[in-house]
Structure 1
């Protein structure tokens, strides 16, 4: 994408508030709030520790108590299971008796069985079995009719209790209750029932309530100030504190409803009206339906120790806030102004004309005025050299040692990755898609992006090489051998770059990232980064795209495209009929199907990739790019797909013809072409001569000179001088460099030799040539 930053110094408007002041305030606030946050963290951490310790103790005790309660219930349920198999109960439940026996005798034998079972568990006070049909109750001590209950000794379950048990068993098979004026806890279960579900035999186990409470109280820690209780929806069954007033005010149905709907370990928070305190309630369900074990803890237990800590916190916060207000506003006002001036210039607001105080002018002075024309041209030459490496004009093995040393192109690692960054086009940001020469503001934007990215990369990827082309920043990143997950790390760094530039300078970027390649495949890596950037432009899903994440589709809808390598090989083969058949098939598929917008864009992107790959192949193998392949541009994606196929087919056919002709020519003179190409790319190297050329191509100087002269009828050195003088003329026309500086730039350490050769080739000296240019303008 081509982008340009528009900005006029003639009509400067008053600076608009950029919001950077508040960004600096927030930045300093984040630093000065550290003691506040530390104190706050300490307080809340201590609060949470006390709270968690209390609640953990409570939960642990509750869990242990629940296991003991469940153990008692489990033993009772096991007794009921055992009694269900008792033959006397089966007979008596159905109004029958054993052979050679009577019901009275069976009840007597059953009483004996109950007595044996009762003595096996110390928690059981009494075992009762009631037969509704005969209205008899059998216990371990006796067997009698229900009507005889008032006359029996040590009765734990009254007539009214039995009626309540039968009513509750009507909807369930097991119930738990506390009889009135009794010291026991009753667990009742249906042993036998008729086909309608009516109970024929009911077991009621009387558990020693005092022993159960004693077990709960023994589990409590001395510092625990809570209450444990076994509850039903309609009341308390037993409690570790029988005189607790808070239990009388709790809504037990609400507690069951709350914990039935949650399984995240949260606690029930409630308060009492009479006492005016807040409580936390933990809950465990038991084996018996609608019966649970709860613990009730007063919140004041773990709040009392935090009041002094809270006083220290408030004092510290007060001191920090008062001191921080002065420091924050003073340093924020002092430091935000330089960055604000830069942003104002980037956004086109103009700025202060005082060059001595304006940060924009100071940075531009670093970029321009403090750099000599010679240094500028050297930087430009290095930039262009790196650009040629990326585009394949210079193969990696063709980088000579002196040039690598002069440009610091050492490439210490064998693996590389290419990042391609492009400022986003927007009217507000000041960038335009119309190409024009880069101005100072554009240089400032590139300067900021490059230096911020260098800083972000320096930790994990210290070796990086930047170049700017087509208003895009290409970054060659060397991947150290010990780097773990380098691709994910690079994506994370680019995301940090996006965030920093957007937050501080309102600069928005798009970025394409290549896969990791060996350094010999730099041009392929650059091609992938460019393809990823173009994918963003076409699909616009995210400002960052990794080439590996792009789907490489061979079929789009009903159109069979095959692979990009297949199409490139088809063009290189020179088979025009096969190429025509390929596009004819695509047209038929296109006519017989309707593509979605996304599928159409995928077709555009496929042919963009094919063309880019073909251009790279032509550059690296034939040192030229056919002009028919220059149709890739902003209008490429605006052409209707049928017309695009026609245009692409014509371009590919012409390219195939030109490549065949070029191949025949190169077969005859490739040797000389490689030498000329090397000279064109390294002419500025002062050490480049016949001997270094011969050493690079691994042949003797005499053989090189002889072969070259046979092919081109001139010497190698003559061609070297021709290339140098041609580039020196361009420098004289475009810059104000002195003759000695021009000589150094094109590889002449001796300016006298440069003047002599310049006059020999052009007929005049460099000074006179410059004078004639000035007189003509």
Structure 2
């Protein structure tokens, strides 16, 4: 059963719509009724309707204003508008807000039933298209040839000759013509996989379902290729020009749509790491490495989001020379773990020395590579490497003349813990700086009706998802709720000036639409702007005069 909300100021018409149609046979249930748009908005938050039937001409808030707000706040809700001949032009305007259909009054039950059946079919088709497991199994059998995915895998794991890349991408029909590129890696959040993860076949089916959604969206925008490598869904995203900030915004828009679609249709979440922008497909393997690094930050930032490596780590030209798995275990324990995790990682590295039959020179090189990886990590966070590793002391000399491996292990563990503490301190300082700048910007620009997360993120030079995560964590509420609170408080102050009209106050605090302002003001204070002014401002003036 899909949920229906009826919005009509005439009780007789409202009752007729409810009682003259067998809604259950059409697949709908009338969840609530409202006499105007304002009442409807109050009900929608709790009733979560799938379809709203609304008259256009109503007191307080008409159907056109309601449609505008619904399109912004509840974009998935289908809207049907009712209109008389006199306000047909208003109905045409409402179409721009994405209404599904409209009917002329008086409304005939047969006409409304036909429209509702059409809308039900659309909703059914949308759900069936994404959730039909049998259809997904068929798509799985008809997936792209192995040779195509094998070439894409080689692009992200090694550096291939440019001439070979051109020949292969043409022969395989790959959509990889661009001026710059970026790799992204998406991982399924295991805690959301539920029953999918308990069965091997279902787990593979889930991966293919995610791949199918991602491929459909990336093909819609003609922005590159997507495939699975090991357990990560990998994206090779192409751009028409080399513009790091602009390219990332395009990539974020694409990947955020994919993330939301996977959550909506498959009821699982994914986290996506985005690598550095590169100017050649030959360098996409470096971008992929940084994308995997960005994905690792899920451990501290949380899952179900898009994480850009440029937001959290500067690009670095240094490469590690020892085993990548060992290096990642050590670095991840320093960046994300506890003191116990660091001790465990260092212990594992030194256990390797004790259990292998390596020569003295091999052990010395191994220890130097550990120090090099720590130095590289320190530099990536702009820490004072000389101070941390004590280059002017004798640690490097000890490595070439050691007679007690435990002493060197303890020294390296001490260095790792030092780096961990400094990274945590810098991360806290950077977060505080971002919050200070963000709040100052909001305080200065709350009167801008177009003040959005995108705009303030551009000002701070960070991604919208990263800003949203930091702001909610530090402020204890979302950016939008914080902005609304600032605007409402500013409006209260302005109301003390009796020469200012309510609509003038609304415009000054960022609400050019008076009804929109009134809706949020009442939602935050429990009173309309006029009621608030009469109760608190004008009464105060009368007391002063008395």
Interval of TM-score (by shorter of Structure 1 and Structure 2): 0.3 to 0.5
State the TM-score, normalized to the length of structure 2. 0.41
Choose between structure 1 and 2: higher helix proportion.
Answer: 2
Normalising by structure 1, we get a TM-score of: 0.30
